[in-house]
């Protein structure tokens, strides 16, 4: 790369953050909306882009084992995760005291039965209510990133092959980490499975860093990606709504498993990203002033994502207290939540710019 920031990553990541918020908020239309984007959703796009960003930020070719920066980032994510957990516990306690009932979901219904035990489990990432096992997945992925860099420098084919094998074995054998907060008693995002899409992102990000094309254009591949991505939308929605049975029968659940990141989900997200990278309008949109707020949200993804998690949790509580909430009010909450996340991205960027200008002014005065 020539040092210029790839705005398409920021744009797609910012869009993914808003889509994740809508899915997590559990509005009456959230589930249908979640299924209306094909076999994959914003989670795959975000993890794939996270792998690309990880390579761009931390990978130094043939520099040996590079653990300091990615592991430091992993520890920061761990701290943010614990902070979010503490906030959600506090909110749930306030709801209980205010309404004298279990008026929250997010799989915290049994936390207060043994808060000390579950609190200790939370520290070891073995008690994570719904929507709170996303950052821990990134913690695991960042911990393995230095080893992925090392294997990448030795053999890209071996790295992708090994990652694919681990994904296949974990999915086939349902190998996962324990999570006492969920009904299935495992992580909702199995890191052993999701590492595959993250490693693919690392491979693509390393190509970008070397100045190589990420997704070289090919007319036949572009047509196949377009057909697959477009056909997946009505097909998945029809299956979800019960209008048609899956042609894959009992195998369909495994093919689209979100826990194990099924193969249809991976193929779908790769098709979407291939199209995004080869449609000139997407690149133009990423640099358009009208979409700058969306790009800024993607640029400051950790803070925006964390705010989105809290906002979605608040929406879940409100929907639980008022299951018959008018759709108009739900849409108002949706719009307000999205707007607040965009404002957070803008504010953080403005603060960063102000600090950079102050530092530059200080250096100038010293000189």
How far is residue 355 CA from its own chain's centroid? 28
Compute the distance between CA of residue 38 and CA of residue 363 in angstroms, rounded to an integer. Answer: 52
**Is 103 a domain residue?**
yes
Tell me the pTM.
Answer: 0.92
**Is 60 a domain residue?**
yes
- Concatenated DSSP letters for 144-172? HHHHHHHHHHH-HHHHHHHHHHHHHHHHH
**Is 81 a domain residue?**
yes
Q: Which pLDDT value is given to residue 106?
A: 47
Q: Which pLDDT value is given to residue 364?
A: 60
Q: Per-residue pLDDT tens for 235-292?
A: 999 998 888 888 888 888 899 999 999 999 999 999 999 999 999 999 999 999 999 9
Tell me if 191 sits within 8 A of 177, measured CB to CB.
yes
**Is the confidence at residue 170, as pLDDT, over 50?**
yes
Average pLDDT over residues 66-79: 95
**Is 2 a domain residue?**
no
Q: Which pLDDT value is given to residue 15?
A: 93
Domain that holds residue 305: 7-366
Enter the tokens of residue 333: 């909450």
**Is 29 a domain residue?**
yes
Q: Per-residue pLDDT tens for 191-242?
A: 999 999 999 999 999 999 998 999 999 999 999 999 999 999 999 999 988 8
Domain count for the chain? 1
- Percentage of the chain surpassing pLDDT 90? 65
Residue 92 banded pLDDT, cuts 50, 70, 90: confident
- Measured between its terminal Cα atoms, the distance across the chain in Å is 31
**Is 1 a domain residue?**
no
Could you list the beta-strand ranges (E) of the chain.
Answer: none
**Is 151 a domain residue?**
yes
Compute the distance between CA of residue 120 and CA of residue 298 in angstroms, rounded to an integer. Answer: 33
Residue 101 banded pLDDT, cuts 50, 70, 90: low
Compute the distance between CA of residue 148 and CA of residue 162 in angstroms, rounded to an integer. Answer: 10
Compute the distance between CA of residue 150 and CA of residue 156 in angstroms, rounded to an integer. Answer: 10
Q: What is the CA radius of gyration of the chain?
A: 21
Q: Which pLDDT value is given to residue 296?
A: 94
Q: Per-residue pLDDT tens for 34-67?
A: 888 889 989 999 999 999 999 999 999 988 898 9
**What does the mean pLDDT of the chain come to?**
89
Residue 103 banded pLDDT, cuts 50, 70, 90: very low
**Is the confidence at residue 341, as pLDDT, over 80?**
yes
């Amino acid at each position: 790369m020539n040092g210029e920031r790839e705005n398409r990553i920021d744009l797609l990541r910012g869009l993914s953050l808003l889509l994740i918020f809508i899915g997590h908020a559990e509005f009456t239309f959230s589930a249908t909306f979640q299924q209306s984007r094909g076999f994959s959703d914003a989670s795959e796009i975000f993890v794939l882009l996270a792998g690309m960003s990880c390579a761009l930020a931390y990978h130094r070719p043939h520099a040996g084992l590079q653990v300091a920066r990615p592991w430091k980032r992993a520890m920061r994510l761990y701290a943010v995760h614990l902070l979010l957990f503490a906030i959600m516990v506090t909110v749930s306690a306030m709801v209980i005291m205010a309404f004298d009932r279990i008026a929250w979901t997010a799989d915290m219904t049994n936390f207060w039965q043994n808060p000390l035990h579950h609190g200790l489990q939370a520290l070891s990432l073995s008690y994570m209510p719904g929507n709170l096992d996303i950052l821990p997945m990134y913690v695991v992925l960042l911990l393995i990133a230095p080893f992925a860099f090392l294997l990448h420098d030795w053999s890209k084919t071996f790295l992708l092959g090994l990652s694919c094998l681990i994904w296949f074995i974990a999915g086939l054998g349902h190998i996962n980490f324990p999570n006492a907060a969920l009904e299935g008693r495992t992580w909702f995002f199995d890191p052993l499975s999701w590492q595959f899409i993250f490693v693919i992102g690392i491979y693509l990000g390393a190509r970008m860093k070397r100045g190589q094309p990420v997704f070289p254009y090919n007319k036949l591949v572009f047509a196949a990606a377009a057909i697959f991505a477009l056909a997946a939308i009505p097909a998945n929605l029809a299956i979800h709504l019960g209008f048609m049975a899956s042609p894959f029968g009992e195998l369909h659940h495994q093919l689209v498993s979100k826990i194990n990141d099924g193969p249809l989900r991976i193929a779908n997200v790769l098709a979407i990203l291939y199209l995004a990278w080869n449609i000139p309008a997407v690149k133009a949109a990423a640099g358009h002033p009208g979409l700058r707020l969306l790009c800024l949200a993607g640029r400051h993804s950790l803070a925006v994502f964390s705010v989105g998690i809290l906002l979605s949790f608040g929406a879940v509580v409100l929907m639980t207290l008022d299951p018959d909430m008018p759709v108009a009010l739900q849409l108002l909450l949706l719009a307000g939540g999205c707007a607040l996340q965009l404002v957070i991205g803008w504010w953080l960027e403005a603060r960063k710019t102000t600090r950079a200008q102050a530092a530059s002014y200080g250096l100038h005065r010293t000189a």
